[in-house]
Structure 1
Amino acid sequence: MAAFKLNPPFDHRLQNQSLINNQTKNNFSLQLKKTVKPFTTTCTTSTSISKQIENTISVHDNRRKMLGPDNWPGMLDPMDPVLRSELIRYGEMAQACYEAFDNNPYSKYCGSCKVPPKNFFQDLGMDSSGYEITSYIYSSNTSNLIPKFFIKSIDSDGPWNPMVNWIGYVAVSNDETTTRLGRRDIVIVWRGTVTKLEWMEDLMNFLKPVSAQKLASRDPNIKVMAGFLHIYTDKDQSCPYSKFSAREQLLAEVTRLTKIYGQKGEKMSLTITGHSLGSALATLSAYDIAESELDKVDKMQKIPISVISFSGPRVGNIRFKKRVEELGIKVLRVFNIHDTVPNVPGVLLNERTSTLVQRIADWTTFSYSHIGEELALDHRRSPYVKEKLDFVSMHSLELLLHLLDGYHGKLERKFWVASGRDIALVNKDGDILKHEYLIPPNWLQVENKGLRKNQKGEWKLPEQRSIEDHLTPHDVELHLRKLGLA
């Protein structure tokens, strides 16, 4: 397996004080004066202190349990600090997809994931994520609609199928996190594109009925972007990793997990997230799960479905939007207002046009609509970020997480990082920070480009330990039969 440096934990604090200028220190001191009560000499027993801490944790956990999608509107302005931490956590899970993906064309395994599921969060420095991977998701390129999205090795005879890419994963909250959240959280994370923004040219072509790809649909006029639909439904049965489509892999895994935790009588939630193209797949898969009624454990319990979309484009037409809302799916869109991707497709005909025009345009193949609540952020508010950025930088997920950490509400003009999230992360794969902070651009690199000396003294890309470890052991076909999909 190719060697690469572990990333620093995402939640560590700013360790290099030289990165913070004097003005930032003064602002931070001022905030402390406003928020910290004066110290008194009153003695407090250790029992009383423990009780205070216990009560504080209890309140904190209860607030987490109240952070359901129905409460999002009232928690975004001003920004609820606990909601912010939850959103950053999901964003970091989406960011992990970029860092785990093998996009090195000189690697025989280009297009796969660098690490097996059991080591995923540990190898990416996310030991405290509170989640465990249960399955990987793969997608196939069997359509001429999606050529630039797929990455492949220059070695056409390599062990990895050049028509297959790792596209995301399913994870479940561990017992500790489940207790804190008050529910067993099943998370579906979709990978975005690593080919800059060329995918927009590929996928922004035309709308296609979801029923054309055999997705459940009560309305034949519910349409989504054709490219998104094919990434979700295409398959290559000659390859064990794409014998089933990304859709089939996902539906089978959701069925398996909801059965396991449903039989235990646990409350559950389905949270689906992704950045860029990944957010489009998150919205599409949320619709599919709900329309297929996989969110219903029994007649009494319905699992809430939430989509956390980072910098996502529009996905489908007005009818798609309305059906997503009817199904009770809650969507929160987080984006940089200077980013171009959230404005496409549908630059002319979209959710902002008049109702009459929408009704007329709904019959065309170029009318689109965003869905859900929005959290619009502005990179020009951050004192750390260059005012002028290129299109790719404005679309960066790490930049977005930095802006999310410093956002406190529409009326709060001051920007300060609430969690102390390291600003160096912003330059991980870009040139975004002002030069005065002395953080080199694109600093996250694979040591020696992944080459290692073997026993013969030759520099070679090492073999992956066991690529078969990346396959889920679960019987996908068995669950698909029960769903009537196989």
Structure 2
Amino acid sequence: MPRCGSSADPSSAPVASRAVQSVATSIATSTKRLRDQAQSRSSSSSSSLASMWRDVQGSNNWRDLVKPLNSILRDEIVRYGEFVSACYKAFDLDSASKRYLNCKYGKRSMFEDVGIGNCGYEVTKYIYAAPGTETPRWIGYVAVASDEDEVRRLGRRDVLVTFRGTVTRAEWAANLMSALAPARLDPHDPRPDVKVESGFLSLYTSDESASRFSQGSCREQLLGELSRIITKHRDEELSITLAGHSMGSSLALLFGYDIAELGLNRSGRKSAIPTTVYSFAGPRVGNLGFKERCERLGVKVLRIVNIHDPVTKLPGVFLNENFRVLGGPWSCSCYAHVGIELALDFFKVRNPACVHDLETYIRLLKCPKLGKIEKNHGDQFGNWGLNFIHKAKELMRRENFDAWAWQDAARQVGNLVQSLGF
């Protein structure tokens, strides 16, 4: 009688061995097939982006790409949103730090330190802005697609400029100025009818105080760096992509207009370098004259907005593009959004903590089914909101942190939500 664990029939061992080998071979074949399919999909996606990148960057105003949202465009929006999110993750709000109100990390390591080290871009310059008479603080960065595999995937060498949104008290004050002023960015043709929000314009052009990290205004830093990059890559296919969240989207649009108005994207080239703005939760920036001028200059703007986000309805709650029928002198006083809108709806649960949050925008774009929110799904979005609140409370507990900014922001958004009935 065979012992426990031994084979009753020694001749069956080869059969069992062959069965195991057959299963192993089947698994290996299936694994290879799945790997090949994944590589094929990746290759197909890459080649598709390379072949249609101009459309994705808005050459045809995103015709047939927004409704329904094209998967390649969705991936690009998410990618640029994560580049903007890096600004928040890298901004130093520790008042005890030597890099307080600056970037926590060096240019060479920043992407890796914030978790996107394999992005294929390299940071070439940090950008600083001075709100009012305050000390300049880090507002964003310039980066260039440097990895040649990434350049081939994109179909061109992409020059990227990103801006974070409002964090400090002085920046909130700049946001709430809500008065139109002539942009006058072209010294040879001031165009007095082209007006922009004075707080954003001041943030973009002011150079009120010196900083050991920056020289010149936000505008001067940007124009100088972009000129350098365009000259360096003058013989290559380029794109200029500007991305920002909230206040940062306003700076992105101002810079896009400035580039086109000065002709920087056309200098020494047969055709203009495509200039595209990805605006996340952006407010209105200028008047109807500004909108029309941006369109005439070919600045492409994709506005990604939550339809319940009150910030996207400011400024110009009453005088805006919907009142163009007034005509005459009123048109100069009406604020107007620029570009094509991609409308998201993720606030049916009325959670004010996530209504304007960039991470929530990105999560919804990654998981579009979450946009169809049922009442019993509210807890999931509520948890995101609670996480946002906890982050805010943690910031307020830090020594010498100016809690007024967060309290005032909540008050402003809350009042607006109530007054407009969102």
For residue 92 of structure 1, report the CA deviation from its aligned partner.
1.1
Q: Secondary structure at the match of 2:305?
A: strand
Tell me if the contact between 1:377 and 1:407 (Cα under 8 Å) persists in the aligned partners.
no
Match of 1:186 in 2: 159
| 1:352 paired to 2:322 | yes
Question: Structure 2 matches for 1:276-425, cutoff 5 A?
Answer: 276-355=246-325, 357-364=326-333, 367-380=334-347, 387-390=349-352, 392-407=353-368, 413=372
Q: Secondary structure at the match of 2:162?
A: strand
| 1:130 paired to 2:120 | yes
Q: Secondary structure at the match of 1:300?
A: coil
Aligned-residue RMSD, C-alpha: 3.3
Q: Secondary structure at the match of 1:134?
A: strand
Match of 2:196 in 1: 224
Tell me if the contact between 1:189 and 1:274 (Cα under 8 Å) persists in the aligned partners.
yes
The superposition leaves residues 444-480 of structure 1 with CA deviations (integer Å, 9 ceiling, x where unpaired) of: 979x979xxxxxxxxxxxxxxxxxxxxxxxxxxxxxx
Tell me if the contact between 1:133 and 1:169 (Cα under 8 Å) persists in the aligned partners.
yes
Match of 2:57 in 1: 68
Match of 2:391 in 1: 442
For residue 311 of structure 1, report the CA deviation from its aligned partner.
0.5
* TM-score after normalising by structure 2: 0.76
Taking a change above 3 Å as real, the CA distance of residues 399 and 47 of structure 1, as seen in their structure-2 partners, is closer
Match of 1:78 in 2: 68
2-structure distance, mates of 1:291, 1:237? 27
Q: Secondary structure at the match of 1:90?
A: helix
Paired-residue identity, %: 38
Tell me if the contact between 2:136 and 2:209 (Cα under 8 Å) persists in the aligned partners.
no
Which residue of the other structure, out of 140, 154, 175, is the alignment partner of 1:168?
140
For residue 388 of structure 1, report the CA deviation from its aligned partner.
2.7
Match of 1:473 in 2: none
Residues matched between the structures, number? 362
2-structure distance, mates of 1:196, 1:430? 18
The superposition leaves residues 432-454 of structure 1 with CA deviations (integer Å, 9 ceiling, x where unpaired) of: xxxxxxxxx439979x979xxxx
Question: Which structure has the larger Rg?
Answer: 2
1-structure distance, mates of 2:188, 2:44? 42
Which residue of the other structure, out of 242, 246, 257, is the alignment partner of 1:272?
242
For residue 199 of structure 1, report the CA deviation from its aligned partner.
1.4
Question: Structure 2 matches for 1:104-115, cutoff 5 A?
Answer: 104-115=94-105
For residue 84 of structure 1, report the CA deviation from its aligned partner.
1.1
Higher-helix-fraction structure: 2
Taking a change above 3 Å as real, the CA distance of residues 287 and 165 of structure 1, as seen in their structure-2 partners, is same
Taking a change above 3 Å as real, the CA distance of residues 134 and 101 of structure 1, as seen in their structure-2 partners, is same
2-structure distance, mates of 1:253, 1:311? 26
2-structure distance, mates of 1:295, 1:270? 8
* TM-score after normalising by structure 1: 0.67
Report the more deviating stretch, 166-175 or 103-112. Answer: 103-112
Tell me if the contact between 1:216 and 1:291 (Cα under 8 Å) persists in the aligned partners.
no
Tell me if the contact between 1:236 and 1:242 (Cα under 8 Å) persists in the aligned partners.
no
Report the more deviating stretch, 229-238 or 400-409. Answer: 400-409
1-structure distance, mates of 2:40, 2:324? 51
1-structure distance, mates of 2:171, 2:161? 25
Taking a change above 3 Å as real, the CA distance of residues 215 and 140 of structure 1, as seen in their structure-2 partners, is farther
Taking a change above 3 Å as real, the CA distance of residues 227 and 63 of structure 1, as seen in their structure-2 partners, is same
Tell me if the contact between 1:349 and 1:358 (Cα under 8 Å) persists in the aligned partners.
no
For residue 238 of structure 1, report the CA deviation from its aligned partner.
3.8
Tell me if the contact between 1:135 and 1:171 (Cα under 8 Å) persists in the aligned partners.
yes
For residue 198 of structure 1, report the CA deviation from its aligned partner.
7.7
User: What is the identity, as a one-letter code, of the residue corresponding to 1:207?
Assistant: L
Tell me if the contact between 2:324 and 2:331 (Cα under 8 Å) persists in the aligned partners.
no
User: What is the identity, as a one-letter code, of the residue corresponding to 1:361?
Assistant: W
Tell me if the contact between 1:314 and 1:370 (Cα under 8 Å) persists in the aligned partners.
yes
User: What is the identity, as a one-letter code, of the residue corresponding to 2:391?
Assistant: N
For residue 326 of structure 1, report the CA deviation from its aligned partner.
0.6
User: What is the identity, as a one-letter code, of the residue corresponding to 2:308?
Assistant: H
Q: Secondary structure at the match of 1:270?
A: strand
1-structure distance, mates of 2:328, 2:150? 45
Which residue of the other structure, out of 63, 73, 88, is the alignment partner of 1:98?
88
Q: Secondary structure at the match of 1:169?
A: strand
Taking a change above 3 Å as real, the CA distance of residues 278 and 216 of structure 1, as seen in their structure-2 partners, is farther
2-structure distance, mates of 1:333, 1:197? 25
2-structure distance, mates of 1:425, 1:295? 44
For residue 63 of structure 1, report the CA deviation from its aligned partner.
2.1
User: What is the identity, as a one-letter code, of the residue corresponding to 1:70?
Assistant: S
1-structure distance, mates of 2:250, 2:208? 22
Q: Secondary structure at the match of 1:118?
A: coil
Q: Secondary structure at the match of 1:308?
A: strand
User: Structure 1 unaligned runs (5+)?
Assistant: 1-40, 144-161, 382-386, 416-421, 432-440, 451-486
For residue 315 of structure 1, report the CA deviation from its aligned partner.
0.2
1-structure distance, mates of 2:127, 2:65? 33
Match of 2:106 in 1: 116
Match of 1:470 in 2: none
Tell me if the contact between 1:427 and 1:442 (Cα under 8 Å) persists in the aligned partners.
no
Taking a change above 3 Å as real, the CA distance of residues 267 and 402 of structure 1, as seen in their structure-2 partners, is same
